[in-house]
């Protein structure tokens, strides 16, 4: 087995900040239940899961939901059966027919031969779906997502592919490392965060929403398509499907949507991650929610402590990130 949950490229990943976030949560919050309501890579959930009896993990991307079920769903799985499936996918490239993946993405996001293999594996997973339980099915798809993402011809997201570069055959289908946790209640959702806030009660809620106009469902459209396997109509140079799962946190209404979420939470502590893009030259990078908006919303719920840490953020060259900081707001709900 090859991939841990953090072994993927993902915009806004908290991997480099997780120890700092974890330390502050441990020092400033108490409780037995924890909700990661914009879970993203799932790294925060993974870090906190040992400390709480009940974990709630949520994200509205199809690919992220499958990944959480693959890693966290408390269901037995047959490793030998999964490994046999992988071994059977290692066919000669000459024996593999063209498929949706190779026809559309070959020579762009991946090599043509790699696309044939990836598409063929996804077809086989669906063909033999009834032979696997839910966790095994999700493990296979998540393993395919991680294996493909590792060799994609991109800067780490799928808003575009890198042009003018020879794309070599590099794909290797490897399994993720699912986790087993004893005596834990783990609830996994794929629902709008503001709607979920109306349904749950939890001691600590961790919030890390998108802050600019870059829609994650568009950034990771290929992983979404590979997960759903619905053969959508693709358009534009980036070969994107019709838009769906478009977040209001990436629109001008973000401030109001955030305030609505904070007001609805039934919890003892609210923990919010925030980074400011400062003097962005790109409109898509400019924050839709400002620092002051967050403070105002949180102060309506209780006493707010603010922590900061210098952090080197991903930068494609269009934004001034001098003295860039990550902020963590911890609110004890009054």
How far apart are alpha carbons 110 and 307 in whole angstroms? 41
Q: What are phi and psi of 250, to 5 degrees?
A: -105, 10
* pLDDT of 284 strictly over 70: no
Strand order in the sheet with 33-36: 185-189, 54-58, 33-36, 202-207, 267-275, 325-333, 302-310
Domain locations in the chain as residue ranges: 15-333
Q: What percent of the chain is predicted at pLDDT more than 90?
A: 78
Which band of pLDDT confidence, cut at 50, 70 and 90, is reported for residue 295?
very high
CB 117 within 8 A of CB 88: no
Q: Identify which of 226, 225, 209, 262 has the alpha carbon closest to the alpha carbon of residue 58.
A: 209
How far apart are alpha carbons 176 and 84 in whole angstroms? 15
* pLDDT of 313 strictly over 70: no
* pLDDT of 271 strictly over 70: yes
Residue-averaged pLDDT of the chain: 91
How far apart are alpha carbons 168 and 110 in whole angstroms? 8
How far apart are alpha carbons 82 and 103 in whole angstroms? 27
Neighbouring CB atoms inside 10 A of 19's CB total: 11
Q: Identify which of 332, 267, 247, 251 has the alpha carbon closest to the alpha carbon of residue 298.
A: 332
Instruction: Give, rounded to a whole angstrom, the gap between the first and last alpha carbons of the chain.
Output: 46
Residue 220's pLDDT is what?
A: 95
* pLDDT of 103 strictly over 70: yes
The pTM (predicted TM-score) of the whole model is: 0.92
- Section 93-110 average pLDDT: 93
Class of domain 15-333 (CATH, top level): alpha beta
- Section 55-72 average pLDDT: 97
């Amino acid at each position: 087995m090859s991939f841990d949950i953090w072994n993927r490229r993902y915009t806004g990943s908290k991997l480099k900040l997780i120890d700092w976030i974890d330390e502050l949560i441990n020092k400033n919050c108490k409780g037995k239940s924890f909700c990661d309501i914009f879970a993203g890579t799932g790294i925060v959930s993974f870090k906190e899961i040992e400390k709480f009896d009940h974990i709630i993990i949520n994200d509205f991307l199809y690919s992220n939901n499958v990944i959480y079920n693959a890693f966290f769903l408390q269901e037995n799985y047959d490793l030998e059966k999964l490994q046999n499936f992988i071994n059977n996918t290692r066919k000669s490239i000459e024996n593999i027919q063209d498929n949706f993946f190779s026809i559309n993405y070959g020579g762009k996001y991946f090599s043509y031969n790699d696309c044939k293999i990836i598409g063929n594996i996804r077809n086989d997973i669906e063909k033999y779906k009834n032979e696997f339980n839910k966790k095994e099915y999700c493990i296979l798809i998540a393993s395919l997502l991680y294996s493909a993402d590792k060799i994609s011809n991109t800067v780490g997201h799928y808003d575009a592919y890198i042009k003018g570069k020879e794309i070599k055959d590099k794909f290797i289908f490897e399994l993720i490392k699912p986790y087993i946790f004893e005596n834990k209640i783990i609830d996994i959702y794929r629902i709008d965060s503001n709607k979920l806030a109306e349904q749950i009660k939890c001691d600590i809620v961790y919030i890390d929403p998108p802050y600019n106009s870059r829609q994650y469902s568009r950034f990771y459209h290929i992983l979404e398509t590979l997960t759903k396997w619905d053969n959508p109509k693709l358009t534009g140079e980036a070969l994107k499907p019709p838009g769906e799962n478009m977040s209001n946190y990436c629109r001008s209404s973000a401030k109001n949507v955030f305030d609505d979420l904070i007001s609805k939470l039934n919890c003892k502590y609210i923990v919010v991650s925030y980074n400011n893009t400062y003097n962005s030259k790109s409109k898509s990078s400019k924050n839709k929610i400002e620092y002051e908006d967050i403070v105002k919303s949180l102060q309506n719920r209780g006493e707010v402590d603010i922590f900061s840490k210098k952090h080197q953020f991903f930068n494609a060259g269009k934004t001034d990130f001098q003295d860039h900081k990550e902020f963590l707001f911890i609110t004890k709900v009054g």
